Structures are given as structure tokens and as C-alpha cells.
């Protein structure tokens, strides 16, 4: 049977595009734009600390290199190793509980000399990848044992992060692990039963929270109860956001950040700095770039031709969206302060590198070929 020359040329062009080093130029460009904008904002939010910006630039460079390396590997080559990557992350979570780095407020860090490393950030990437692989490795719907195995390790990972203590990240780790479970067809009736059980157990959960976690919840309920103490952060953050107006006060002209009224302005509350200095126009531009990234990720997921690539890319996209929503709602006073950074913007090496690695996996999934 003769082959249509037009089909041959079309397939050849598609294969050439799939073999390019950057599989999605739009996604890659949007990521680079946010990273560049983030460095500009970090310079202002850190009080013009060039050393912090330089260090962040080093993390970004390392993350981009890892993203490009991962994106160049076809999914069928790394998929068998995803379980092993999760085991490494889980062991690091156990290690940090017994041998935490000195000089940090919580048992979340491993000291690697010139910088610290948060195992929980690695786990929130490796956990959904491993769960997606485990649930899609067979050509059939997961059975009861498959569900029980992944739910156990999701709960274990969340519990280990919760004991650091880090309530916000433990919730995100749980959600990141449960997303591929949900997307793989987990029965909705069991989800509703779990939510009802969670509500019924809320008194016991409240009793297990540490005093600082309870304090953050009380501050969220009534931030004006202690405006000069526990409620100071959120009060200054809302003041900064509201004072920015439409066009902002101008770069390096924010009063709340430049005069040190806003704590952690370079990390968790950097969105408030952006809103104050660039106003509604600036945050609209930022949301536009975030929207491009999320749109491209979900397009890749929608067009994927394997169950693993669909579940994996969609899960990573939703995790990125959750980070964005939680941080913006947190600094706006809608959510309690849980210490979740603004993705790709906030100062922090581990978070930046892990987000860029996640984009690398998404880009690699676009390479999946039809067998």
C-alpha cells in the first residue's frame, strides 16, 4: 500500500517538533518572564539586597538546567524510577525529624553547607508522580489494594510534614498526593464519606494542633484582636495591597516594605510588595503570566495520549494553581497565614527548583508518543 507523501511530510514535521529541546516555547517563555519579574521584585522586597538576588539567581539557573534536562528525557525512561524518587524524599522527611539543621526555627531543613534544603518540597513533587505511576501502571482500573497503598503513603507523608511542624505544607502535600488519586477515578462516595469523617473528627484534630498553629487560626478569625502582635503581618499586608491602587506607588517606593513594616516581604508576603509598588496593573500582568502557564499545562494534559501523562500533568498543574491561590488568599486575609510562598517569585531555593523541575516533567510528557 502506497503512503501519501503529504502524510509523510506532516508526520516528519511533527517528529522534528517533538525532538526539539524546548517542547513548548510559550510555556517556557512565560516561566522565564515570571522568573525575571520575580528577581526585579525581590530586589525591592529585600531592601535592595543584591546578595539575596544573586543567590536567588543561582537557584533559578540550577532549576532551569534541571528543567531542561528532565524535559529532554522521554517519559518511558524515567517512569520506572519515580517510586525510588519518592522513597528518597520519604527517607529525607524521616531524617529531618531526627537530625534537623541547626539555626532554623522548625525541623524542616537539611543543612547542605551554603544553603538549606526542605525535603517537604521534594516530596510534594515526587509523591504525585509516584502515585500517578502506581495507579496507571496497569491497563485497568485500580483495585482496592492500589487505593489503600497510595492513601497510606499520602497520609504518612502528610503526617511527617505535620510533625515538623508545618501545617500549611502538610495540607499541600496531602492535596498533591490525592489529586492523582481523584483524577484516576477514585469513587466520589468515598471522598464525601471522608469529608464527613474529617468534620466529625475536627475536635480531635484541633486538640492535636500546636499552640502556634492554633494562634494562627485565632488570628485569621479576628486579626484585630492583637494588631501589634499576631495580627501584625496580615494587617500590614492588607494595608500594602490596598495602598497600591491601580498603578501603584512606583518601583522601590513602597512604604510598607521599604520601611520594614511588612515582615517576610521577600518571601511569603512578596505579593503585597508587588501590589503596593505596581498596583492593580502589576498584579494583573502577573496573573496573566500565571494564566498562560496554567493554560499550557492543562492543554498538554488534555492532549496527552496516555493515562499517566494526563493524570501527571494535570496534577502538577493543579498543585501549581493551589500554591498560587493559597498564597494570594493568605496575604489578603482570606486564608490563615500558613507560610506558603508565591510560586516562582518568593525567595527560596528549594521551592524555585522544585517548581522548575515540575515544569520539566510537564514538558517531557508532551513528548509521549503513540505506540
Domain-wise residue ranges, the chain:
23-365
Chain mean pLDDT for the chain: 83
**Residues of the chain under the 70 pLDDT cut:** 1-21, 101-107, 111-115, 212, 219-220, 222-230, 367-371
Question: What is the DSSP-derived secondary structure letter of residue 267?
Answer: T
Closest CA to 260 of 43, 40, 45: 45
Give the pLDDT confidence of 161-217 residue by residue, as tens digits.
888 877 788 889 999 999 999 988 888 888 888 888 888 877 887 777 777 677 777
pLDDT at 13: 42
pLDDT at 21: 59
Alpha-carbon span 70 to 120, nearest angstrom: 20
Beta carbons within 10 angstroms of residue 336's beta carbon: 20
pLDDT at 27: 93
pLDDT at 223: 65
pLDDT at 45: 87
Query: What are the backbone dihedrals phi and psi of residue 110, each rounded to the nearest 5 degrees, phi first?
Result: -115, 125
Alpha-carbon span 235 to 238, nearest angstrom: 5
User: Which single residue is written with the C-alpha cell 512565560?
Assistant: 30
> Phi-psi region for residue 226, left (φ > 0), alpha (ψ -120 to 50) or beta?
beta
Predicted structure pTM score: 0.87
pLDDT at 97: 83
Amino acid at each position: 500500500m502506497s503512503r501519501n507523501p503529504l502524510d509523510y511530510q506532516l508526520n516528519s514535521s511533527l517528529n522534528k517538533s517533538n525532538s526539539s529541546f524546548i517542547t513548548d516555547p510559550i510555556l517556557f517563555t512565560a516561566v522565564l518572564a515570571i522568573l525575571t519579574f520575580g528577581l526585579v521584585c525581590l530586589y525591592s522586597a529585600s531592601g535592595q539586597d543584591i546578595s539575596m538576588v544573586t543567590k536567588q539567581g543561582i537557584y533559578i539557573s540550577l532549576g532551569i538546567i534541571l528543567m531542561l534536562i528532565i524535559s529532554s528525557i522521554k517519559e518511558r525512561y524515567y517512569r520506572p524510577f519515580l517510586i525510588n524518587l519518592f522513597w528518597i524524599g520519604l527517607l529525607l522527611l524521616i531524617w529531618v525529624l531526627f537530625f534537623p539543621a541547626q539555626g532554623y526555627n522548625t525541623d524542616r531543613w537539611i543543612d547542605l553547607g551554603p544553603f538549606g534544603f526542605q525535603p517537604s518540597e521534594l516530596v510534594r513533587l515526587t509523591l504525585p508522580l509516584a502515585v500517578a505511576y502506581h495507579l496507571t501502571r496497569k491497563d485497568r482500573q485500580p483495585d482496592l489494594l492500589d487505593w489503600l497503598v497510595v492513601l497510606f503513603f499520602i497520609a504518612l507523608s502528610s503526617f511527617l510534614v505535620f510533625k515538623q511542624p508545618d501545617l500549611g505544607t502538610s495540607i499541600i502535600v496531602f492535596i498533591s498526593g490525592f489529586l492523582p488519586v481523584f483524577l484516576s477515578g477514585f469513587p466520589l462516595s468515598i471522598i464525601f464519606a471522608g469529608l464527613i469523617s474529617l468534620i466529625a473528627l475536627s475536635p480531635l484534630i484541633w486538640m492535636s494542633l500546636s499552640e502556634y498553629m492554633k494562634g494562627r487560626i485565632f488570628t485569621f478569625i479576628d486579626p484585630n484582636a492583637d494588631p501589634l502582635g499576631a495580627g501584625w503581618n496580615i494587617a500590614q499586608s492588607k494595608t500594602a495591597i490596598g495602598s497600591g491602587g491601580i498603578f501603584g506607588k512606583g518601583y522601590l517606593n513602597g512604604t510598607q516594605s521599604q520601611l520594614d513594616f511588612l515582615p517576610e516581604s521577600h518571601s511569603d508576603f512578596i505579593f503585597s510588595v508587588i501590589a503596593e509598588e505596581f498596583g492593580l496593573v502589576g498584579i494583573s500582568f502577573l496573573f496573566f503570566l500565571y494564566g498562560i502557564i496554567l493554560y499550557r499545562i492543562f492543554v498538554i494534559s488534555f492532549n496527552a495520549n496516555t493515562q499517566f501523562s494526563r493524570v501527571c500533568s494535570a496534577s502538577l498543574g493543579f498543585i501549581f494553581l493551589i500554591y498560587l491561590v493559597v498564597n494570594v488568599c493568605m496575604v489578603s486575609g482570606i486564608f490563615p497565614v500558613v507560610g506558603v510562598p508565591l510560586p516562582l517569585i518568593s525567595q527560596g531555593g528549594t521551592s524555585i527548583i522544585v517548581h522548575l523541575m515540575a515544569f520539566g516533567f510537564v514538558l517531557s510528557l508532551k513528548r509521549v508518543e503513540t505506540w
